[in-house]
Amino acid sequence: MHVIDSHTGGEPTRVILDGAPDLGAGPLTERAHRLATEHESFYRSVMLEPRGQPAMVAALLVKPVDPTCVTGVIYFDVDAVLGMCGHGTIGLAVTLAHLGRIGVGTHRIETPAGVVTIELHDPNTVTVTNIESRRVHQSVTIDVPEYGEVTGDVAYGGNWFFIVDPSPIPVDANNIRALTDMTVAIREASIAQGVGGEQGEPIDHVIFQGISPNADVHSRNFVLCPDDNYDRSPCGTGSSARLACLAADGRLAAGEEIVQESVIGSSYRLSYQSGPNGGVIPSITGQAYVMAEAKLIFDGQDPFRDGIET
């Protein structure tokens, strides 16, 4: 299995070029469902240590249904197959450029959440125009065991987010343990209390919005991912969900640009246009860097061939 690893604002992406199970040729939602339900040991073995690393997201290249797309892609982390991934799409674009498969300009990519557009500005800088994102519930209060009541918005940006603004804990790299513990507790409480999307979709990510010490930065976030790791980048789908909330509250006008920082200080430039269905069409600009080209080996004699389950 050949892979190329990159990072986007510190968040790793592993693009899988070949060697994955055959998922058929149907719609990407069906292929993603097949991956999630029939090939769990495969995707966990690619992401778990020692082959993978915490927080890593894989981008499995598949043939697109839409022939105008340069590729189809299914994203997953160690615990979930994702609808879309913003940092992963920036990493994928930079990887496709590294391989000589795309050049500077605009290209379309098919994901299970829909077709997204990428604009490659230079070998490392990419703007992703995401699928329409929306806030579905405002000011929902969850009773979180050991923490008490927490109020936040439920929003969709390609994945499902519970967004707490302002953060009850300062969003600072020194607080990552405390931020992780509380956001995990919120996600678990949201699932137990049935707080989710319009069709009952479970919350898979939790965001705390804090302030940044940098004057030109709008806010700094902490984003919990399904694998209980935090996003080192400001999270592309999370930033999309956040833009939908800012727009719904009248706190950001269409076309206005802001800088969103992650808890480790990496940043995206964000803006939106109004969407056709009442939501927003987010634009996310960030940088990614290729780190490694490798061939993954699954040795039958290796006692940790399937990864370390802790």
Would you please indicate which residues are annotated as catalytic (active-site) residues? Answer: 85, 235
d(CA 160, CA 247): 17
Check the CA dihedral 142-147-152-156 and report its sign: negative
Instruction: Please report how close the Cβ of residue 25 comes to ligand PYC at its closest, in angstroms.
Output: 26
Whose tokens are 């965001």? That residue is 207
Taking the least distance from each CB to ligand PYC, the nearer of 97 and 235 is 235
Instruction: Tell me the two tokens of residue 270.
Output: 């964000």
Smallest gap from residue 258 Cβ to ligand PYC (A):
17
Task: For residue 36, count CB atoms less than 10 angstroms from its CB and return exposed for 0-12, middle for 13-18, buried for 19 or more.
Answer: middle
Q: CA dist 156 to 28, 108, 129, 130, 286, Å?
A: 19, 21, 15, 11, 20
Of the pair 22, 271, the CB lying nearest ligand PYC is at: 271
The total number of residues written for the chain in this structure: 310
* Contacting residues for 301 by C-beta, under 8 A, at least 6 apart: none
Report d(CA 118, CA 86) in Å as an integer.
10
Minimal distance in Å, beta carbon 289 to ligand PYC? 16
Enumerate the β-bridge partners of residue 266. Answer: none
| Tokens encoding 87 | 């940092």
State both tokens at 133: 């994102």
Q: Indicate the residue among 231 and 261 with the shorter CB distance to ligand PYC.
A: 231
Residue nearer to ligand PYC on the CB measure, 165 or 231: 231
Give the integer Cα–Cα distance in Å for 45 and 30.
22
Q: Write down the least CB distance from residue 145 to ligand PYC, Å.
A: 25
Considering the complex, state which of residue 13 and residue 71 has its C-beta at the smaller distance from ligand PYC.
13
* For ligand PYC, the closer CB: 248 or 284: 284
Least distance between ligand PYC and beta carbon 155 (Å): 13
Task: Tell the residue number behind the tokens 């149907």, with chain if given.
Answer: 26
Smallest gap from residue 287 Cβ to ligand PYC (A)? 13
Residue ranges binding ligand PYC (CB under 6 A): 11, 57, 82, 85-87, 225, 231, 233, 235-237
Residue 96's region, left for phi above 0, alpha for psi from -120 to 50, else beta, is alpha
What lies within 8 Å, CB to CB, of 291 at 6+ separation is 5, 6, 7, 12
Strand partners for 102? none
